[in-house]
């Protein structure tokens, strides 16, 4: 049954939820931090204890977050103003005699980064809540991938934004804070029904359109595009529409990357999660660069992880609730691993892609970001786009040499030495950004000396002249060697022109 939430039903439901304080802060306050964290780990018992005192908020938590059946009378009292039969007809609750339980996952969702915003999100019950395997058209709730894309998204005011493959609508919710007009598309009718319920409940006016990939928005251009596509890599099949594209290998990611320039307005930015194959004898960076046109984009591929085939297959089988030891699990794993072998796949890379539409030659940067970091990547992505644009506008060596650069206060210099016959012998000298992605870069004595002078007061050309004189080196050679190093440090945010500090 396709859930149907009318405008009027959503308005009454939102009122009911508001009245009892079923919002992001209210739920944490009712449960306490420990029970809330336990619930997030799939451990419901502490939440049952925290809500033992009863009351409308406790009832909603038990019903929608813990997944328990509650007495029908309590559900009616907690959803005051909402006809429980209508809620059942809409698919929101399931009635069984005198008890009621969730028919859909309805949860408050807030994000610290969005000024304490609290929304409600409607999705399908997961396998644990539903007590059985999910359907092929399962509408995924907010998962790790959704959150990581939300944290990596640039949040600057834009006119139009496309959320491609909206699912339960989570990316569009975040976008509502900075985009004037949002369009959300999906292949799945069920996703659009639940995303529409999410948007209505939150009083958001989001245009929805059904269809595959870019087809529903053909011919239109957007200032920003976000996409968490079904990026699971393997043989071409669709077990679950939320994760399988029906395309072989990494073709889904390639399709979105290839299609983005065609829907981005000039200067527009597209961001997606993506997977790419690591094939024997092929560099992953060459592979993803091959998805881009020669002109018209700045592209940043950030690889967060690489999984070897066996680990990858096991992880995604378990994600679908399939025991790798079962007959079904063995058959699926065999077909999957055969496909990897036949296609020379030695690993699967996963990460973030950012594209900006430009009127210049394509610039591509591929980075490994496999170490742990805490800061959200969104502000760093925006800053990366600014730095790349600045370097393009100041590519002329004369302009670079006239620029006063500064080392940000978050950059530190590490020196590692070992004891030797003549005292400490330096092994490595490394620049380390202590913020954002935590980039590290080995460096040498000359660059260290140059950076010591970069305090936003003396033009680069003067500093290089002093350095050349101090070390008895030809000035031209020092400039020639320094300019690419400076550009690389700027790209990584370890050295900034005064106006970007
Ligand atoms: C991984 S989910 C992402 C959902 C949500 N945007 C998020 O961030 O959690 C992928 C979404 O893409 C949709 N999808 C699958 N194939 C598609 C296609 N060919 N065109 C458009 N959307 C598709 C699925 O229905 C699903 O909603």
CATH code of residue 339: 3.40.50.150
**Residue 253 CA, ligand 1 centroid: distance in Å:** 12
Question: Is residue 140 lining ligand 1, measured as CB closer than 6 Å?
Answer: yes
Quick one: pLDDT at residue 113? 60
Which residues lie across from 78 on neighbouring strands? none
**Residue 411 CA, ligand 1 centroid: distance in Å:** 39
Report the residue among 242, 246, 272, 274 best suited for mutation to probe ligand 1: largest number of ligand atoms under 8 A from its CB: 242
Same domain, 187 and 240: yes
Instruction: State the chain's mean pLDDT as an integer.
Output: 96
Question: Is residue 273 lining ligand 1, measured as CB closer than 6 Å?
Answer: no
Same domain, 466 and 341: no
**Residue 212 CA, ligand 1 centroid: distance in Å:** 9
Question: Is residue 172 lining ligand 1, measured as CB closer than 6 Å?
Answer: no
Q: How far is CA 56 from CA 65, 70, 122, in A?
A: 14, 11, 19
Same domain, 177 and 308: yes
Question: Is residue 129 lining ligand 1, measured as CB closer than 6 Å?
Answer: no
Answer whether residue 124 is part of any domain: no
Residue ending a domain, choose from 350, 365, 392 = 392
CA distance 175 to 172: 5
Question: Is residue 319 lining ligand 1, measured as CB closer than 6 Å?
Answer: no
Same domain, 194 and 206: yes
Same domain, 206 and 92: no
Give which of 124, 220, 228, 245 is closest to 172, Cα–Cα.
Answer: 228
**Residue 172 CA, ligand 1 centroid: distance in Å:** 13
Quick one: pLDDT at residue 1? 80
Question: Is residue 170 lining ligand 1, measured as CB closer than 6 Å?
Answer: yes
Answer whether residue 94 is part of any domain: yes
**Residue 417 CA, ligand 1 centroid: distance in Å:** 51
CATH code of residue 440: 3.90.930
Question: How far does the chain reach from its first CA to its final CA, in angstroms?
Answer: 55
Same domain, 444 and 411: yes
Q: How far is CA 198 from CA 5, 160, 205, 403, in A?
A: 9, 19, 11, 49
**Local confidence pLDDT in tens for the 501 residues of the chain:** 898 899 999 999 999 999 999 999 999 999 999 999 999 999 999 999 999 999 999 999 999 999 999 999 999 999 999 999 999 999 999 999 999 999 999 999 997 665 678 999 999 999 888 887 888 999 999 999 999 999 999 999 999 999 999 999 999 999 999 999 999 999 999 999 999 999 999 999 999 999 999 999 999 999 999 999 999 999 998 989 999 999 999 999 999 999 999 999 999 999 999 999 999 999 999 999 999 999 999 999 999 999 999 999 999 999 888 899 999 999 999 999 999 999 999 999 999 999 999 999 999 999 999 998 888 999 999 999 999 999 999 999 999 999 999 999 999 999 999 999 999 999 999 999 999 999 999 999 999 999 999 999 999 999 999 999 999 999 999 999 999 999 999 999 999 999 999
Tens digits of residue pLDDT in 53-71 = 999 999 999 999 999 999 9
Sole residue written with tokens 């025991």: 323
Tens digits of residue pLDDT in 319-365 = 888 899 999 999 999 999 999 999 999 999 999 999 999 999 999 99
- Work out which ligand 1 atom sits closest to the CA atom of 150: 8
Residue ending a domain, choose from 372, 392, 412 = 392
Answer whether residue 64 is part of any domain: yes
Q: Output the residue whose Cα is nearest ligand 1's atom 6.
A: 166
Quick one: pLDDT at residue 483? 98
Q: Containing H/E element for 369?
A: none
Angle between helices 189-201 and 7-20 (to 10 degrees): 50
Answer whether residue 425 is part of any domain: yes
Answer whether residue 249 is part of any domain: yes
CA distance 63 to 77: 13
Residue ending a domain, choose from 392, 411, 426 = 392
Same domain, 19 and 162: no
CA distance 62 to 56: 10
Same domain, 238 and 372: yes
Angle between helices 475-491 and 445-453 (to 10 degrees): 80
Q: Output the residue whose Cα is nearest ligand 1's atom 26.
A: 242
Q: How far is CA 378 from CA 149, 165, 374, 410, in A?
A: 9, 20, 12, 18
Residues ≥6 apart with Cβ < 8 Å to 52: 58
Q: How far is CA 468 from CA 51, 319, 476, 497, in A?
A: 71, 59, 9, 21
3-state secondary structure 152-169: HCCCCCEEEEEEECCCCC
Residues ≥6 apart with Cβ < 8 Å to 157: 178, 179, 180
CA distance 288 to 299: 10
CA distance 345 to 324: 20
Question: Is residue 165 lining ligand 1, measured as CB closer than 6 Å?
Answer: yes
What is the side-by-side strand order in the sheet with 455-459?
455-459, 404-406, 496-497
Same domain, 384 and 478: no
Answer whether residue 132 is part of any domain: no
Residues ≥6 apart with Cβ < 8 Å to 115: 177
**Residue 228 CA, ligand 1 centroid: distance in Å:** 6
SS3 content of the chain, % helix, strand, coil (to 5): 40, 25, 30
Question: Is residue 212 lining ligand 1, measured as CB closer than 6 Å?
Answer: yes
Q: How far is CA 372 from CA 111, 252, 365, 436, in A?
A: 21, 27, 20, 11
Q: How many CB atoms lie within 10 A of CB 471?
A: 11
Question: Is residue 271 lining ligand 1, measured as CB closer than 6 Å?
Answer: no
Same domain, 83 and 221: no
Contact present, 185 and 164 (Cβ < 8 Å): yes
The domain total for the chain is: 3
Question: Is residue 171 lining ligand 1, measured as CB closer than 6 Å?
Answer: yes
Quick one: pLDDT at residue 131? 81
Question: Is residue 146 lining ligand 1, measured as CB closer than 6 Å?
Answer: yes
Answer whether residue 112 is part of any domain: no
Q: Output the residue whose Cα is nearest ligand 1's atom 2.
A: 242
Answer whether residue 229 is part of any domain: yes
**Residue 490 CA, ligand 1 centroid: distance in Å:** 35
Same domain, 301 and 440: no
Same domain, 55 and 160: no
Task: Supply the range of the domain harboring residue 11.
Answer: 7-103
**Residue 415 CA, ligand 1 centroid: distance in Å:** 47
Residues ≥6 apart with Cβ < 8 Å to 384: 300, 354, 365, 491, 493
CA distance 234 to 247: 8
């Amino acid at each position: 049954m396709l859930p149907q939430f009318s405008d009027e039903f959503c308005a009454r439901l939102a009122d009911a939820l508001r009245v009892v304080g079923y919002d992001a802060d209210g739920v944490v306050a009712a449960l306490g931090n420990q029970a809330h964290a336990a619930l997030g780990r799939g451990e419901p018992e502490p939440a049952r204890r925290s809500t033992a005192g009863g009351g409308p908020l406790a009832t909603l938590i038990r019903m929608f977050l813990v997944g328990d059946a509650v007495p029908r009378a309590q559900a009616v009292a907690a959803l005051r103003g909402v006809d429980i039969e209508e809620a059942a007809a809409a698919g929101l609750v399931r009635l069984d005699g005198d008890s009621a339980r969730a028919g859909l996952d309805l949860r408050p969702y807030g994000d610290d980064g969005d000024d304490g915003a609290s929304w409600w999100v409607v999705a399908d019950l997961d396998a644990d809540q539903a007590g059985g395997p999910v359907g092929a058209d399962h509408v995924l709730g907010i998962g790790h991938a959704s959150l990581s894309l939300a944290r990596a998204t640039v949040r600057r005011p834009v006119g139009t934004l496309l959320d491609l493959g909206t699912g339960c609508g989570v990316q569009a919710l975040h976008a509502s804070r900075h985009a004037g007009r949002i369009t959300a598309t999906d292949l799945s009718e069920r996703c659009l029904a639940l995303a529409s319920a999410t948007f209505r409940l939150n009083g958001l006016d989001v245009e929805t359109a059904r269809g595959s990939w870019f087809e529903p928005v053909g011919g239109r251009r957007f200032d920003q595009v976000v996409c968490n596509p079904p990026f699971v890599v393997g043989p071409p099949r669709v077990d679950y529409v939320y994760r399988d594209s029906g395309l072989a290998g990494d073709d889904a990611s390639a399709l979105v990357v290839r299609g983005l320039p065609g829907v981005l307005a000039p200067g527009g930015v597209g961001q997606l999660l993506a997977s790419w194959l690591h094939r024997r004898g092929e560099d992953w960076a060459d592979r993803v660069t091959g998805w881009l046109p020669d002109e018209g984009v700045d592209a940043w591929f950030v690889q967060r992880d690489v999984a070897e085939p066996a680990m990858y297959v096991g992880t995604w089988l378990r994600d679908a609730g399939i025991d790798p030891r079962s007959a079904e699990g063995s058959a699926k794993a065999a077909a999957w691993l055969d496909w990897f072998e036949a296609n020379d796949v030695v690993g699967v890379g996963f990460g973030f892609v950012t594209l900006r539409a430009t009127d210049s030659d394509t610039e591509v940067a591929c980075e490994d970001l496999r170490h742990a970091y805490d800061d959200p990547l969104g502000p760093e992505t925006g800053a990366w786009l600014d730095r790349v644009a600045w370097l393009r506008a100041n590519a002329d060596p004369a302009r670079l040499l006239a620029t006063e650069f500064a080392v940000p206060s978050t950059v530190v210099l590490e020196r590692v030495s070992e004891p030797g016959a003549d005292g400490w012998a330096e092994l490595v000298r490394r620049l380390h950004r202590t913020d954002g992605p935590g980039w590290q870069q080995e460096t040498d004595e000359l660059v260290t000396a140059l950076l010591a002078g970069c305090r936003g007061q003396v033009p680069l050309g003067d500093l290089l002249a002093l350095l050349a004189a101090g070390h008895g080196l030809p000035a031209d050679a020092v400039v020639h060697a320094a300019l690419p190093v400076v550009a690389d440090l700027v790209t990584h945010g370890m050295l900034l022109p005064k106006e970007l500090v």
